[in-house]
Structure 1
């Protein structure tokens, strides 16, 4: 007997559901695609029981199985808490019972509904993470995330198991992940197990859903930024499924009609497809395809009064991901996952005028990975795997600017336009290999451990490293767990990670680059006050060394001279919906500290934020009306102040001064100043209704509801006699809707 177990709510496949033939010792467990298979069933009539934590139990009576027959049975399970005598609620990993099954400290998980309805996130996958503790963002204009003092280049981002770099649209304004196909996002802010390598700070894993196996579906989702169409349905009579989505900005199509001829507003479009098909009782193939394109064109006219030069800019970017996954589950206690992935990215940039810059980027990567999970006994679960990546990159920059303008750049600024940087090019390839083994060990009823060892090698720096990892969870009481983690973490310097932070060094000038290193120490206490209230505290320390920094901050020569420390404490209080509760939400507070030190300088990291507070609340008035709010507060980020100016002397051939009309700044201590505190209130109202016989959902959202003028940065006139403030987003009303056909 075989079949699938899916959610009644969204028809998503359910992993880990138990299927039992009552009155026998025969049964099975569903895999990632919700598929189960039970072999060697004697002919007869059975009552088949389906169950999964967090879902109501379902029993199908009188299921007839004939001799030689492969009986197909697919069921839908309804989300519903399961009540037991000793533990009132059992849902999933995020529950009192699941509390003692999760060994990772500080892990955060968000479901599609939370991503799409979080006020202020604009239905953006990465922006939704800003509401959880330990995650900061440098500005409203970027979807990049900084986790516990680490940079965005130090985050390992996985999309359906494949390593992804720079998953952004429109220069980082919007994340490339389509929320309409995301099944779950999981953030591990530190202390991650041996399966994950080549990053110093955090792991962000995005899991995309498969298409419906029940029937054809077509729906549309439209926001103020973009519109998307989703088509999904079954293949081969339910043995497989497909889902295809397309998304595009539309505001640019409207604004370009009234813009000047040589101006094109930033745009993007992307296409995503996922096909899954069962090859038999134990095998499934999944094919994933993703393609995106974006660009803009801009003309800045000369303004002599404000000393603004004339400039033309245009940019065109293409990227794609193709992946093939084979899942093999020959036995309930054994699963093997194999994956091949190909990624490419092309970009061309051109700027003309008083400044001249041309750039070209062409890169692609082949990746192979495989992992095997074997439940060896009730006490031991083994996780073994390996990965290989071959990356080729070619890019060049040509930059021409007056020396006076180059001198104005802030020391330590990560940019290809650094002093004395006129031209730059790179054409090369790198190979990286990693292998790991870990064991999840149930030492006792109270203690759960996961220990592992990882080996990595990269020919870019020709260095091999071993990374031991340890995670511990100890059950203090029925609803209380103490968790800790430590380990060594390494990250290889290469141009893929350099480009994430906009740093393009001359690696040829230093042939002795080494792998960067970090040690994590984490301790957390999690307690359920009741079925719906949870309190969690976390303490963390990241000690980083051998960081690649720019020699003397201005040379573009990379050296392993950086040392950094990031430490902090977090408090998280959550109110979950339970039974007929109408109110849910959380409060997250972070006390953080991050500082970078080199032999020639010491300064706070650009996202060092001493205090951060996030409040999220949602109130479900009835079946068709929901109100939500998010309020965020953060103490000021550091920046480098201008403390004076000095004239730029233009000399003739005799050494006499002929021009003193230009000025250059005198910079203070690196990141010695602080911007004012940031705070913002976002409001959202969501409506669910039926219209024209179709289910609709619409929302109205107000970003920065009380129009707080948060500071993004400061700019100066050419003589540095006046300072202007560039603000973050003002009050912005937005709207959107979705409809399922």
Structure 2
């Protein structure tokens, strides 16, 4: 009798479990014109009052009870919302492409309920769409990401007219700045006048003011996590501009349509080039130049795998020719490289594996006659990490991973010698002892 009751209970449990079985859909939300991933796009099922947002790679996953029909609304800032009615019998993968909106719909402004701020899984996180940044007024012909962040709650300007910012009482060096997961140190041009990031190369900017995820390694003040654009997968595009201080150029296009693309974006100051023909070499004076270069290639290896390779290089160089044949120079900048592999194990499990290298250097030098002296300091980082994101249902997200970080510091390295030719200063990392 006991066995019959247990068997009946087990069958009842199995039947109820099967009847209440959940389904899930997952995929990517992209720009219809370029194929660019839309980070932070929203997918919402109004009938079920369930929704989700895309991650930093444009991936989403939504779990819901088995139903005859599923109504979905897909939306993103600056794009026309898309409504879909689906009939699903099993879990599936489904991608969505959104068109950019050419007009603004009616806007309703309302305040959030007090408990909403408490129920949020992650507080103090602000996503800044690049489209909104491009609509803001420019300063000296340059759209600056950091100057936009200075207007956000809890953020203030470090010094008047500079791009440095302070978050909730912290200092500038307590802010972690990442570009495609690579750390960028002292990310400024012209000694802090504006940041070293070209807005035309960026896809998304996220500011985290508190409650940092363990994947960042622990920071004191804030985290600025930026993602580079992937490039247009449909057609070739060219974009350029000239400002008061610099000129920029961006080239992007498909390597293989719908499967692989690239983007190269560069910026350089041109004041030194304009003044060079009018400045005699034997006269004293000051020259200053800077540049930054972004490049990225991405390839879809199949329905479940994607490969990304991105790099960044930015540098400032100043030289001063003074009296008595004394020359001074300073050179500082960053170089980064990121290789990433995305893999889908299923509709609910997403993984990313990254290999990252980056370098920061600062060189100070002077020459007088035949004497040459250079002081070098720098940082070299090597980082290997893998992350897993599991989304069992719409209420829970489980993240896990491991990271290996090798950090090399060069506090100070001094070199003094007689230059081989001339007395004009030329600072390079290769000519300076590293230990």
SS of 1:255's equivalent? helix
Q: Does 1:13 align with 2:29?
A: no
Per-residue CA deviation, residues 266-289 of structure 1 (Å, 9 max, x unaligned), is 111222111111111111110001
Contact 1:216–1:233 (8 Å) recurs in 2: yes
Contact 2:34–2:233 (8 Å) recurs in 1: no
Aligned counterpart, 2:308: 286
User: Aligned partners of 2:172 and 2:272: how far apart in 1?
Assistant: 28
Aligned counterpart, 1:169: 189
User: Aligned partners of 2:301 and 2:245: how far apart in 1?
Assistant: 40
Contact 1:82–1:89 (8 Å) recurs in 2: no
Aligned counterpart, 1:296: 318
1:60-99 to 2 correspondences below 5 Å:
75-79=97-101
User: Aligned partners of 1:213 and 1:35: how far apart in 2?
Assistant: 17
Contact 1:5–1:30 (8 Å) recurs in 2: yes
Per-residue CA deviation, residues 538-583 of structure 1 (Å, 9 max, x unaligned), is xxxxxxxxxxxxxxxxxxxxxxxxxxxxxxxxxxxxxxxxxxxxxx
Q: 1:159 aligns with which of 155, 172, 179?
A: 179
Q: Does 1:226 align with 2:246?
A: yes
Q: Does 1:393 align with 2:415?
A: no
- Please state how far the C-alpha of 1:17 moved relative to its aligned partner: 6.2
- CA 1:388–1:142 in structure 2 vs 1: closer, same or farther (change >3 Å)? farther
Report the structure, 1 or 2, having the larger helix content: 2
User: Aligned partners of 1:36 and 1:199: how far apart in 2?
Assistant: 28
User: Aligned partners of 1:132 and 1:31: how far apart in 2?
Assistant: 22
Using the size of structure 2 for normalisation, the TM-score is 0.70
Per-residue CA deviation, residues 654-683 of structure 1 (Å, 9 max, x unaligned), is xxxxxxxxxxxxxxxxxxxxxxxxxxxxxx
Using the size of structure 1 for normalisation, the TM-score is 0.43
User: Aligned partners of 2:138 and 2:104: how far apart in 1?
Assistant: 30
- Please state how far the C-alpha of 1:154 moved relative to its aligned partner: 1.0
SS of 1:275's equivalent? strand
User: Aligned partners of 2:389 and 2:109: how far apart in 1?
Assistant: 29
Aligned counterpart, 1:126: 146
Q: Does 1:178 align with 2:178?
A: no
Report the structure, 1 or 2, having the larger strand content: 1
Per-residue CA deviation, residues 172-230 of structure 1 (Å, 9 max, x unaligned), is 33312111111222212233333332321111111222111221111112221211111
Q: 2:275 aligns with which of 245, 255, 263?
A: 255
- CA 1:49–1:272 in structure 2 vs 1: closer, same or farther (change >3 Å)? farther
Contact 1:117–1:123 (8 Å) recurs in 2: no
Aligned counterpart, 1:597: none
User: Aligned partners of 2:296 and 2:84: how far apart in 1?
Assistant: 32
Unaligned runs of 5+ in 2: 1-24, 46-51, 62-68, 87-92, 416-431
Per-residue CA deviation, residues 408-461 of structure 1 (Å, 9 max, x unaligned), is xxxxxxxxxxxxxxxxx9977xxxxxxxxxxxxxxxxxxxxxxxxxxxxxxxxx
1:267-666 to 2 correspondences below 5 Å:
267-301=289-323, 312-317=327-332, 319-351=334-366, 358-396=374-412
- Please state how far the C-alpha of 1:333 moved relative to its aligned partner: 1.6
- CA 1:369–1:393 in structure 2 vs 1: closer, same or farther (change >3 Å)? same
Larger Rg: 1
- Please state how far the C-alpha of 1:254 moved relative to its aligned partner: 1.0
Q: Does 1:195 align with 2:215?
A: yes
User: Aligned partners of 1:280 and 1:333: how far apart in 2?
Assistant: 18
SS of 2:273's equivalent? helix
- Paired positions, count: 369
Unaligned runs of 5+ in 1: 21-27, 38-46, 62-70, 303-309, 400-424, 429-741
RMSD of aligned C-alpha atoms?
4.3
